[in-house]
């Protein structure tokens, strides 16, 4: 584990992760319904070797899986012949497995047909919970894709490179349908697109706000001020010059054959600070606790003595606990490969530590 960045927060009280409603005073996102939020790549000047990052918040309302699950994210041209129309250059599906919803992600590795792609491990995709996903596409000798959830890397694919399947007619899509897979019934908010592969440290930063001074920011859609679209139904990003819209995927039998632009429908949005920290403030202005991570060990200092320690991940789940019996310093061994945002409750203090 590498060195980390330490962020001291004001002293806080831990509460369950908060959900928010879209109204005059609360954040606003968009409701995907059966449609896809799509960014046409023809405006991006990308190719197979272009690094880029897609990041967004999502809250799934319900999974209503078709035969093979639900479509999550894809990069494809629905007007292409099958199988490229429904799978394309990259795709991520949520699939039912017993009582779980398993996310599988693949990237095409060769050929303009068939399913020659590398499949990744899978995890249980929860619903009714705001989650942040960042798809980071990079290139060295071959294509590389890393998926971050709430600032932590969860999947990685390397060595995938295809000279044939990238096309300027591709659309980067969140949601929608594909062959034998249902649309994503979800709210999404704060969509960001960058023309570079962001580091984990930057991924953690953009969970709360885009890198506005970074020239790589192509588009940031906040959805707070409603929807202003052009004559073709495309919404320009709040920051950046890129346009996006809502697509209905047209089908013939079970195969995608094209798209049709639809109006935006607004719904619940996310307050990243509330969701990431899972906390509410009190009136204490400065934390008494300092902490850092080194060699997979969490080091804590508090001059008034440490009586109790609870370590949470970015979704408010307990990772470990400890009792230092009043000592002014403590060292806690973390589970291997612990990365991303950690929330520490030390006595009545809460601080945030980022493990890079």
Q: Is the pLDDT of residue 273 over 90?
A: no
Q: What is the mean pLDDT of residues 307-315?
A: 77
- The overall pTM is greater than 0.85: no
Q: Give the pLDDT score at 316.
A: 61
Q: First-to-last CA distance in the chain?
A: 7
Nearest-angstrom CA–CA distance, 141 and 15 = 46
* Segment 85-135, tens digit of pLDDT: 998 889 999 999 888 898 888 888 766 544 555 666 667 888 899 999 999
44-81 per-position pLDDT tens digit: 999 888 999 999 999 999 999 998 899 999 999 999 98
In DSSP notation, 6-62 reads EE----EEE-PPP----SSSS-EEEE-TTSEEEEEGGGTT--TT--EEEEEEEEEEE
Write down how long the chain is: 356
Inter-residue contact 203 to 116 (CB < 8 Å):
no
Per residue in 180-232, pLDDT (tens digit) is 899 999 999 999 999 999 999 999 999 999 998 889 999 999 999 877 899 99
| Domains, the chain, ordered by start | 17-274 (2.60.120.200), 278-355 (2.60.40)
What average pLDDT does range 290-300 have in this prediction?
83
What's residue 285's pLDDT?
Answer: 39
Query: What pLDDT is stored for residue 282 in this prediction?
Result: 37
């Amino acid at each position: 584990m590498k060195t980390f960045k330490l962020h001291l927060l004001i002293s806080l009280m831990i509460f369950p992760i908060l959900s928010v409603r879209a109204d005059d005073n609360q954040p606003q996102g968009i409701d995907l319904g059966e449609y896809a939020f799509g960014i046409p790549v023809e405006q991006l000047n990308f190719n197979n070797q272009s690094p880029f990052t897609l990041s967004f918040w999502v809250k799934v309302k319900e999974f209503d899986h078709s035969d093979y699950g639900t479509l999550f994210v894809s990069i494809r041209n629905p007007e292409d012949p099958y199988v490229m129309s429904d799978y394309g250059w990259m795709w991520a599906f949520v699939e039912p497995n017993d009582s779980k919803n398993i996310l599988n992600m693949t990237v095409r590795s060769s050929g303009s047909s068939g399913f020659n792609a590398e499949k990744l491990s899978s995890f249980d995709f929860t619903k009714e919970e705001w989650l942040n996903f960042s798809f980071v596409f990079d290139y060295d000798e071959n294509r590389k894709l890393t998926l971050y959830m709430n600032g932590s890397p969860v999947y990685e694919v390397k060595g995938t490179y295809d000279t044939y399947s990238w096309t300027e007619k591709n659309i980067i899509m969140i949601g929608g349908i594909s062959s034998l897979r249902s649309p994503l019934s979800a709210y999404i908010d704060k969509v960001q697109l960058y023309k570079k592969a962001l580091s984990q440290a930057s991924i953690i930063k953009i969970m709360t706000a885009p890198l506005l001074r970074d020239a790589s920011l192509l588009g940031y859609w906040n959805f707070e001020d409603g929807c202003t679209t052009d004559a073709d139904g495309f919404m320009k990003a709040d920051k950046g010059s890129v346009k996006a819209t809502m697509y209905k995927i047209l089908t013939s039998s079970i195969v995608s054959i094209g798209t049709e632009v639809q109006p935006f429908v607004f719904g619940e949005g996310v307050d990243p600070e509330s969701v990431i920290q899972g906390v509410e403030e009190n009136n204490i202005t400065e934390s008494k606790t300092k902490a850092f991570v080194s060699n997979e060990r969490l080091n804590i200092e508090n001059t008034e003595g440490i009586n109790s320690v609870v370590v949470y991940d970015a979704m408010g789940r307990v990772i470990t606990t400890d009792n230092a019996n009043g000592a002014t310093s403590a060292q806690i061994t973390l589970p291997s490969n612990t990365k991303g945002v950690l929330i520490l409750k030390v006595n009545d203090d809460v601080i945030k530590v980022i493990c890079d």
